[in-house]
Amino acid sequence: MQKLTIRDFTVRPFRARLQSLGINYTELYERIILQREPTANTTQADHSFPSIQEILETAVAISGDPALAIRIGESLDVTEYGTYGFCIMSCVNMGAALELFLRYGQTFIDHAYWSRKQSEDGVIIRLHQDTCNDYQKMLVTELVFSQLYANARLLVAQPHEGIRVHFNYPRPTYVAAYKDLWPIPMEFDQEYSQIFIPKRWLNQRIRTGNPATNVLFTQQCEEILQGMSDVREVTAAVRRLLVQSAGDFRNIKEVSEQLHITERTLRRRLSAEGTDFRAIFDNIKNTLAQNYLSNTSLSVADIAYLLNYGEATNFHRAFQRWNALTPNEYRKRAAS
């Protein structure tokens, strides 16, 4: 069976941001392939999927905007990251959110990882990168640092109080873009790219914190991180595949192919476990819908789109069937 990763949740919003900034993804992909050098054993270029480093570097060249990585990072919203996003949003405080990030956020970008160092009055999270050039490392740093700050701003009231940042590269010519986004002390030409976070900031409560739902989403993240090789129950396997594909849900044919069984066999095994594909599918959509309504300010139309409904009225009817409440009624009840 295919191993699932937390990274799968981030691909769609990242690609959507590129397109919203005028970058054609097909053109970008083709340009990257053409720029690659032929491999050692053949005269043909490598056609493997582009790395995030290649994508950022080429996107900046196409757009002519040197601060493009910053603009992409600040526009990526944790609410679009499916189970991982809800897991972060339901944490009680920023310290718990940081723990989740350090566990699951490692899987987002190849050849990059985070480490943590305790200091007397806080914690330092340090970004490490290898196997890419210095310019690509700078672009990745801009992307992830701007995304972290944007998500912190969404989660808590004062995301920058006491925070300071170091960058291990020279001050760029477009440093004004840094200052516009990060109203925090920053220094360049340092030994590491890192963020200092004071203890008092880690104790800030998250607006959407919910310990009960956090347990559910943390468990789902852990299951995805561990992969599906040890899954025995077909229902659990189907559920994980549907959660992982949230936003572009797989149908029963695609799920059966991922599980390497026929559609007929999948239906039979689900029936033997007392359920069916539609029931699992509806349960996943309802769980996501309830959390979108409770923990975000997204409109009902936006939620319908994220759950792959062509019309908001279809989502409205389905939600009312599942909960005996309209989406707006559910949101009001959750708020009270």
pLDDT-based confidence at residue 212 (cuts at 50, 70, 90): low
Helix (H, G, I), strand (E, B) or coil at 283: helix
Q: Can you give the pLDDT at residue 319?
A: 94
Q: Can you give the pLDDT at residue 29?
A: 81
Residue 269 lies in a domain: yes
In the numeric block, which tokens belong to residue 54? 């290649």
pTM for the full model?
0.66
Q: Which of 203, 215, 263 shows the shortest CA–CA distance to 90?
A: 215
Torsion angle of the four alpha carbons 162, 168, 171, 176, in this order, in degrees rounded to the nearest 10? -40
Residue 210 lies in a domain: no
Does the pLDDT value for residue 83 go beyond 80? no
pLDDT-based confidence at residue 9 (cuts at 50, 70, 90): very low
In the numeric block, which tokens belong to residue 254? 């695609």
- Residue with the two structure tokens 């989403």: 217
User: Residue 289 maps to which CATH number?
Assistant: 1.10.10.60
User: Residue 89 maps to which CATH number?
Assistant: 3.90.1520
Q: Are 15 and 67 members of one domain?
A: yes
Structural domain boundaries enclosing 257: 231-335
Q: Share the mean pLDDT of the chain.
A: 82
CA distances from 102 to 93, 95, 96, 162, 185 (A): 15, 11, 10, 20, 23
Residue 225 lies in a domain: no
Q: Which of 251, 244, 249 shows the shortest CA–CA distance to 308?
A: 249
Q: Are 62 and 181 members of one domain?
A: yes
Q: Are 30 and 163 members of one domain?
A: yes
Does the pLDDT value for residue 1 go beyond 60? no
Alpha-carbon span 137 to 292, nearest angstrom: 34
Residue 21 lies in a domain: yes
In the numeric block, which tokens belong to residue 68? 């493009």
Residue 198 lies in a domain: yes
Stated as kind and residue range, the H or E segment containing 306 is: helix 300-306
Q: Which of 124, 121, 126, 125 shows the shortest CA–CA distance to 199?
A: 121
Percent share of the chain, pLDDT over 70: 85
Q: Which of 259, 263, 267, 262 shows the shortest CA–CA distance to 240?
A: 259
Size of the chain in residues? 336
The angle subtended at Cα 157 by Cα 155 and Cα 162, nearest 5°, is 100
Alpha-carbon span 289 to 175, nearest angstrom: 40
Alpha-carbon span 296 to 325, nearest angstrom: 18
Does the pLDDT value for residue 181 go beyond 50? yes
Q: Can you give the pLDDT at residue 185?
A: 94
Q: Are 274 and 177 members of one domain?
A: no
Which residue did the predictor score with more confidence, 82 or 145? 145
Q: Are 130 and 244 members of one domain?
A: no
Answer yes or no: are the C-beta atoms of 269 and 39 closer than 8 Å.
Answer: no
Q: Which of 331, 333, 283, 323 shows the shortest CA–CA distance to 307?
A: 283
Q: Are 158 and 26 members of one domain?
A: yes
Tell me 205's DSSP state. B
Residue 215 lies in a domain: no
Alpha-carbon span 62 to 134, nearest angstrom: 19
Which residue did the predictor score with more confidence, 29 or 104? 29
Q: Give the end of a domain, one of 165, 185, 202.
A: 202
What average pLDDT does the segment 210-231 reach? 64
Q: Are 237 and 192 members of one domain?
A: no
Which residue did the predictor score with more confidence, 189 or 154? 189
In the numeric block, which tokens belong to residue 175? 């440093």
For 140, list phi and psi in degrees, rounded to 5: -65, -40
Residue 221 lies in a domain: no
Residue 103 lies in a domain: yes
Alpha-carbon span 210 to 315, nearest angstrom: 25
Q: Can you give the pLDDT at residue 110?
A: 73
Q: Can you give the pLDDT at residue 108?
A: 67
Tell me 84's DSSP state. H
Does the pLDDT value for residue 238 go beyond 90? no
Q: Are 125 and 261 members of one domain?
A: no
Q: Select the highest-mean-pLDDT range: 7-21, 95-109, 170-184, 253-267.
A: 170-184
Q: Are 85 and 194 members of one domain?
A: yes
In the numeric block, which tokens belong to residue 132? 């890419």
Q: Which of 171, 109, 115 shows the shortest CA–CA distance to 143?
A: 109
pLDDT-based confidence at residue 128 (cuts at 50, 70, 90): very high
Number of domains in the chain: 2
Lowest mean pLDDT among 26-30, 161-165, 199-203, 232-236: 232-236
